[in-house]
Chains A and B, each alone.
Chain A
């Protein structure tokens, strides 16, 4: 089993990445998984024009929804309330956790079963509930494996992508009473299924994320393959859904294009096993379904991204993970290196809004700007452009022209050495005389060039000025020609 455990801290990004790069098992695992997902996605979009057309529609739907976000949220709230759903608003993780705890206390619940939800990871729901004696059991197979092992998800769609079946066999044998050691994947899933069935049966509260919220009908739409999402939202007495404020769409008919873009981009499937449309708690006469449904709407920095038109595109995301599957950096360093809830290119553009630029300053630089993430994004988010904007925002204390306000952590990457270096560069390169003098001195003093040049020489040969500058060589070449011509 791989012993590498990168820290859950974006400030440790560079150390984390170095750790993973030195682990051949992890690297092979990620490379294989990313190639597999990229191939499966490509098979779903054989016709480039058809893809562009569908993606144009998806982008339009998301942009339109964001363009009227405050009104849609109010419409959604009234529609949900009319159907008996209780709507809560949370500024940040602490707010959201208080809401969960309050509901758990009112129902005297000591255990919750949870379907896959990245927003619940964002607020660290499991840990916060545990502090108050409420256990929160992950029921997605991948998330369950990670929870048993005390590990974190490394991919938003395939959370346990960094585990091998041997890893899972060992984890189950150690943590599930009565489970023997087996590397047979069918048996492993059967063990997980049996262990979690009991939890579904006992839990008073079920927790889920949401893929789309529909303002028109007051519906919560969930997309999944395993059935744990349906169980979590159907069997317990109480269902609490949590999601970001950006996940709303205007009309029910906006769901089919986004649904097909999501499943095809995420796992290369034309459809998932379940599309679960929830519009309220159990009604009189109905025999199952939760008696209470709650929705927690979380901001946690999203309204900062919303404030500026370019950054607003970040919120178009439907969390398919295609950008990470196609990112050459992600494929090498894996999801855990980022130290954030959302890894990869989308993580690099959303995390600075959630956590501030100070702690996430390295993430926007974790890109070669090859553009693959933007090419595959099913809702047309210009990810490379946003990476560039965040790099700039980190380096300039004053916001760019279009930005109304400074971002959280604006200018925190600014270093006096770097500012000085660029000033010196500009002084030398903007004036012909100064540049000539600099080139002449540099070429004469080349013997004094240090062989260690910081980060540059960690994986490259040192930069040493040429013995003669290009200008000097041209001049002497011309002189030779002239001499030859005169003879």
Chain B
């Protein structure tokens, strides 16, 4: 029997066994009500909560604004010794990256990974991405990779820099999911990122930089100019 035929046969056998048990459908849980009881805090509280949580997970959070962030980025790159930064073309931050003095070479992620593997694995020091939002409760970033901003841009380089607008902060994962209506339009890969990658697999000792980025820097763009 071919593998496909075996799968089809297994499918009908499994489903008919499950149906034979004749489970009685229970009422749907009211997830929204569970989260509705929590009051929505003002912007400043969300911001402070996000910063504290993100730092708790060893992310560096730098408060800046929509005009000043490229020069702040240049400082970060200099401080971390980044020589090659990679970014996605045609993103909301691309023009600003082109316009400013980064002090590092800028690589575009504009070819398939198959071509770019040597660059991504060996030479790029940092990847910069936009974010779709932030979650104050846990200090998490929402990443929404697409054709312009591939998945591995936030994964393979040892340093991940994320640009987050303050007005994209939400209190909880449930809140951001419902407000942005994720259920009706998920990308091929949606991500929550909280701090740099880590492991405690050897004797419970926490080490940052397991397989993903060793460092995460969040440029938090304040709604009000930071002066």
Which positions in A face B, CB cutoff 8 Å?
Answer: 33, 36, 53-54, 57, 60-61, 63-64, 66-70, 73-74, 83, 88-91, 95, 98-99, 102, 139-142, 145, 158-161, 163-165, 168, 185-186, 188-190, 193, 196-197, 200-201, 216-217, 219, 225-228, 230-231, 234-235, 245, 250-254, 256-257, 259-260, 267, 270-283, 285-289, 297, 299, 303, 306-308, 312, 404
Contact = CB atoms under 8 A, between A and B. Distances in A.
A327 B2 CA distance: 45
Nearest to B115: A287
Contact of A158 (B24, B57, B204): B204
Interface residues of B, number: 79
Interface of B: 3, 6-8, 10-11, 13-15, 17-21, 23-29, 31-32, 34-35, 53, 57, 109-113, 116-117, 121, 137-140, 146-147, 150-152, 155-156, 172-174, 177-178, 182-183, 186-205, 207, 209-213
B152 A234 contact: yes
Nearest to A60: B29
Contacts of A234: 151-152, 155, 189
A186 B152 contact: no
Contacts of A33: 204
A306 B112 contact: no
B207 A253 contact: no
Given A89-B7, A98-B3, A253-B183, A57 B34 contact: yes
Given A274-B191, A287-B111, A164 B182 contact: no
Contacts of B10: 89-91, 95, 299
A369 B190 CA distance: 42
B202 A70 contact: no
Contacts of B211: 139, 193, 196-197, 200, 226-228, 230-231
A66 B197 CA distance: 33
Contacts of B19: 70
B14 A303 contact: yes
Contacts of B18: 69-70, 73, 245, 303, 306
Contacts of B195: 273
Contacts of B209: 189-190, 193
Nearest to B196: A273
B178 A253 contact: yes
Contact of B201 (A145, A282, A288): A145
Contacts of B178: 253
Contacts of B110: 287
Nearest to A193: B211
B192 to A, nearest CB: 4
Nearest to B24: A67
A66 B194 contact: no
A145 B18 CA distance: 38
B212 A227 contact: yes
B191 A276 contact: yes
Nearest to B138: A271
Contacts of B204: 33, 36, 158, 161
B150 A287 contact: yes
User: Residue among B173, B177, B200, B203 with the most chain A CB within 10 A?
Assistant: B203
Contact of A160 (B113, B140, B202): B202
Given A57-B34, A168-B202, A253 B177 contact: yes
Given A67-B25, A201-B121, A273-B194, A287 B109 contact: yes
